[in-house]
C-alpha cells in the first residue's frame, strides 16, 4: 500500500513537473516571439523615419506616468499599479505592432515569391529566389533588383520571357553578382512606357526664345533653356542618333531667329547643301580658327554692351533695345574630337588646334549671358577630348548607350548609359544631379529641314536696316576664309540732364549700327552656298 502511494505521488509529481516545464517553455516561446517582433519592428522603424519618430513618441507615455506616479501608486486599487508598471514597456509593444505593418519591401517580397512559385522557378534546394535589395531610380526608371538563390545565371536568362510576364517588368540585363548565388536584374516597370519612335513636328517648337525640346520621357517633354544652361554636350556611339539631336536643336533655334555656324571636319557631310543656305558650314582648321576667334571677340563686345546698358543677359538687353536686338548665335560642333585631338598632326596645325581649344574654353566659360551657345557632339569620349574646362562649363549632358562604362562615366559622371535599352534614339539627359531616360525626336532632314521656312522667319525679323555680319567660308580650291571686315562701333555714353525744378531725369543711350561688309565672296559661294539667304543682323 505504501508502495502504491509512493508510485502515485511520483506520477503526480512528474505530471506537475511536466506541466510546469510546459508553462515555462510556452512563456519562453512567447518571450522569444515577442522580442523577435520587437527586433523586427525596430528594424522596420530604422528604415522608416515616420515609424522611428513614433517610437520616440511612445516614450512619452511612461514619462507621463512617471511624473504622475503618485496618482497610480497611492491609490489602493491593485490594477492601477499594474497599469503603472505596464506603461514602461509601451515602446516594446509599439515595436511589436510595427513588426506586423506591411511595407513596400514586404509586399514586393510576397509578390516575387508568389510569381516564382507559379513559375516553379526554384533552385537545387527547392527554394524560390530571395529578394536581397530593390534600388529604384526615379530618373531613368531603370530598377536594380538583387536576388539570392541556387539557380544558375544561365537558367535566369533562359526564363527572361516568363519572368517579364510574371513579374510585370521589362528586363534590360541579367548579371552575376559578387557570388554565384547573387543575380542582379536591371529592369523597367511594365507600366513605364517611353515611345520607341518619336518623329519630329514643328508643333513642339517653344514660343520662348532660347528654349528647345529634345524628346520625351515618361512624364512629358525634355526641355533645355539655353538662357539658363547655355551649352549642350551630346554623346553616343555610331548610329545612336547624337547628330540627329544636334540638328533638331539647330532647327528649333533657326526657327526662333538664331544665327548658325556648323563645324564639320568630315567634309561637311553631316550638314548638307541645304544647311549651307541658312548658315556657314566650316570644314577646315584654318576656317575654324578664324570662326572661334571671331566668336570670342564678338562675345567680348556683347559683354561690354551688356555692362554699359545695365543688362544681366541678352534677354534683358533685347527688351531695352527693341528693334536692335542681339541675335542668338548657335555653334554646332559635330565631332569635338576633330577639334581637340592633336595626335599625328604637324606643328602648325597643332598650334592652331591649341588656339581653337583655348577659344572654345573661353566661350564655354564666358558666353552664358551673351547668347552664344555651343552644341557639341562626341562619339568617343575621353579625357583628351572632353577637357576639364569643357566638362565644368557645359551643364547639359545628353548621352546615348555606351558598352564601355568609362565613356558613360566621362560624360555623365555615372555608369547609367551602360544600362540603357538598345533602342535607337534612346538617351539619358543630365542637368545637375538628376539623370533621366528619354526618347529623342527623329529629325529627318528630307522631311523636316526646309530652308524656305527659315527665310520667312528672317524676313519677319528684318528691321529697316539690313545688317550682315557673316563669316563666309570660301569654297575655292584652298577653302580658306578671306574676310575684309570693317567694323564701326560708336557708343555714345549716357547723357543725363537733371532738371532740379521738375525733378525729372532723362537717359539716352545711342548705339550706332554695326556695319560689316564682306567684300570678297567668290561667285561660286554666292551661287551654291548663300542663294536666297538674304541679309540679317549678326550683332
Q: Where are the domains of the chain?
A: 18-99, 104-189, 202-460+468-528
- DSSP of 366-402, one letter per residue? H-TTTTEEEEEEESS--TTTS-HHHHHH--EEEE---
pTM of the model: 0.63
pLDDT tens figures, 54-75:
777 877 877 777 777 666 555 5
Mean pLDDT score, 306-324: 92
Mean pLDDT score, 314-325: 90
Mean pLDDT score, 426-443: 91
pLDDT tens figures, 89-132:
788 888 887 777 766 777 888 889 999 999 999 999 999 999 99
Give residue 43's pLDDT band: very low, low, confident or very high (50, 70, 90). confident
Instruction: For residues 149 and 76, give the distance between their C-alpha atoms in angstroms, rounded to a whole number.
Output: 61
Residues annotated as binding site for ATP? 236-243
Give residue 309's pLDDT band: very low, low, confident or very high (50, 70, 90). very high
- DSSP of 383-449, one letter per residue? TTTS-HHHHHH--EEEE---SSHHHHHHHHSSSGGGGS-S-TTEEEEEETTEEEEEEEPB--HHHH-
Give residue 505's pLDDT band: very low, low, confident or very high (50, 70, 90). very low
Helices (H), 48-59: 49-57
Q: What is the mean pLDDT of the chain?
A: 80
User: For residue 228, which of 318, 308, 314 has the smallest C-alpha distance?
Assistant: 314
Asked if pLDDT for residue 25 goes beyond 70, the answer is yes
Length of the chain: 539
Predicted pLDDT of residue 80: 66
Mean pLDDT score, 292-311: 96
List residues bridging with 399 in a β-sheet. 235, 428
Asked if pLDDT for residue 46 goes beyond 70, the answer is yes
Mean pLDDT score, 252-280: 90
Note whether 104-189 and 202-460+468-528 share their fold. no
User: For residue 282, which of 539, 475, 468 has the smallest C-alpha distance?
Assistant: 475
- DSSP of 156-177, one letter per residue? HHHTHHHHHHHHTEEEEEEEE-
CATH number assigned to the domain with residue range 104-189, chosen from the 4 options 3.90.350, 3.30.1220, 3.30.980, 3.30.70: 3.30.980
Pick 19 or 505 by higher pLDDT: 19
Contacts of residue 423, defined as CB under 8 A and 6 or more positions apart, other chains included, come to 196, 439
Residues annotated as binding site? 236-243
pLDDT tens figures, 153-186:
999 999 998 999 999 988 888 999 999 999 999 9
Percentage of the chain with pLDDT > 90?
A: 44
Question: Which of 378-392, 463-477, 508-522 has the largest mean confidence?
Answer: 378-392
Give me the residue label for grid cell 548607350.
Answer: 401
Predicted pLDDT of residue 73: 58
Domain 202-460+468-528 has CATH 3.40.640.10: no
Mean pLDDT score, 237-259: 93
Instruction: For residues 120 and 357, give the distance between their C-alpha atoms in angstroms, rounded to a whole number.
Output: 61
Give residue 515's pLDDT band: very low, low, confident or very high (50, 70, 90). very low
What's the distance, CA 220 to chain centroid?
Answer: 14
Predicted pLDDT of residue 75: 58
Q: What CA–CA distances, in Å, run from 378 to 183, 235, 408, 440?
A: 34, 5, 12, 17
Residue 8: other Cβ atoms inside 10 A: 10
Minimum mean pLDDT among 20-34, 36-50, 142-156, 216-230: which range?
A: 36-50
Amino acid at each position: 500500500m505504501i508502495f502504491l502511494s509512493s508510485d502515485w505521488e511520483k506520477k503526480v509529481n512528474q505530471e506537475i513537473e511536466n506541466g510546469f516545464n510546459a508553462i515555462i517553455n510556452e512563456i519562453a516561446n512567447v518571450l522569444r516571439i515577442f522580442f523577435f517582433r520587437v527586433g523586427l519592428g525596430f528594424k522596420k522603424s530604422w528604415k522608416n523615419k515616420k515609424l522611428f519618430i513614433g517610437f520616440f513618441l511612445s516614450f512619452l507615455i511612461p514619462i507621463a506616468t512617471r511624473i504622475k506616479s503618485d496618482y497610480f501608486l497611492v491609490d489602493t486599487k491593485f490594477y492601477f499599479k499594474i497599469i503603472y508598471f505596464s506603461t514602461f514597456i509601451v515602446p516594446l509593444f509599439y515595436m511589436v505592432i510595427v513588426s506586423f505593418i506591411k511595407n513596400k519591401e514586404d509586399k514586393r517580397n510576397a509578390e516575387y515569391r508568389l510569381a516564382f512559385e507559379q513559375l516553379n522557378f526554384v533552385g537545387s534546394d527547392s527554394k524560390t529566389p530571395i529578394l536581397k535589395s530593390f534600388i529604384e531610380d526615379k530618373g531613368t526608371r531603370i530598377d536594380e533588383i538583387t536576388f539570392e538563390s541556387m539557380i544558375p545565371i544561365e537558367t535566369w536568362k533562359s526564363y527572361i520571357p516568363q519572368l517579364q510576364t510574371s513579374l510585370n517588368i521589362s528586363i534590360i540585363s541579367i548579371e552575376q553578382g559578387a557570388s554565384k548565388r547573387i543575380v542582379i536584374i536591371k529592369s523597367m516597370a511594365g507600366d513605364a512606357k517611353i515611345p520607341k519612335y518619336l518623329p519630329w513636328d514643328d508643333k513642339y517648337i517653344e514660343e520662348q526664345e532660347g528654349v528647345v525640346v529634345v524628346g520625351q520621357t515618361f512624364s512629358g517633354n525634355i526641355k533645355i533653356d539655353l538662357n539658363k544652361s547655355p551649352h549642350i554636350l551630346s554623346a553616343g556611339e555610331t548610329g545612336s542618333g547624337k547628330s540627329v539631336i544636334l540638328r533638331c536643336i539647330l532647327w528649333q533655334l533657326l526657327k526662333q531667329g538664331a544665327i548658325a555656324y556648323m563645324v564639320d571636319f568630315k567634309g561637311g557631310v553631316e550638314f548638307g547643301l541645304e544647311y549651307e543656305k541658312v548658315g556657314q558650314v566650316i570644314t577646315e582648321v584654318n576656317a575654324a580658327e578664324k570662326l572661334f576667334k571671331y566668336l570670342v571677340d564678338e562675345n567680348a563686345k556683347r559683354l561690354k554692351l551688356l555692362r554699359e546698358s545695365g543688362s544681366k543677359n541678352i534677354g534683358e538687353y533685347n527688351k531695352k533695345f527693341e528693334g536692335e536686338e542681339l541675335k542668338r548665335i548657335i555653334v554646332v560642333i559635330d565631332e569635338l574630337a576633330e577639334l581637340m585631338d592633336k595626335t599625328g598632326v604637324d606643328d602648325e596645325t597643332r598650334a592652331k588646334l591649341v588656339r581653337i581649344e583655348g577659344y572654345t574654353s573661353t566661350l564655354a566659360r564666358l558666353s552664358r549671358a551673351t547668347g552664344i551657345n555651343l552644341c557639341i557632339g562626341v562619339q568617343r569620349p575621353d579625357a583628351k577630348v572632353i577637357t576639364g574646362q569643357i566638362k565644368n562649363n557645359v551643364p547639359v549632358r545628353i548621352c546615348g548607350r555606351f558598352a564601355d562604362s568609362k565613356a558613360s562615366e566621362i560624360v555623365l559622371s555615372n555608369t547609367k548609359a551602360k544600362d540603357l535599352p538598345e533602342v535607337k534614339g534612346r538617351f539619358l539627359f543630365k542637368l545637375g544631379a538628376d539623370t533621366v531616360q528619354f526618347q529623342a525626336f527623329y529629325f529627318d532632314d528630307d522631311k523636316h529641314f526646309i530652308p524656305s521656312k527659315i527665310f520667312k522667319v528672317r524676313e519677319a525679323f528684318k528691321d529697316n536696316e539690313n545688317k550682315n555680319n557673316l563669316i563666309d567660308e570660301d569654297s575655292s580650291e584652298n577653302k580658306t576664309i578671306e574676310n575684309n571686315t570693317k567694323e564701326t562701333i560708336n557708343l555714345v555714353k549716357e547723357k543725363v540732364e537733371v532738371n532740379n525744378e521738375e525733378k525729372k531725369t532723362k537717359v539716352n543711350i545711342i548705339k550706332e549700327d554695326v556695319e560689316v561688309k564682306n567684300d570678297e565672296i567668290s561667285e561660286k559661294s554666292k551661287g551654291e552656298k548663300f542663294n536666297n539667304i538674304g541679309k540679317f543682323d549678326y550683332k
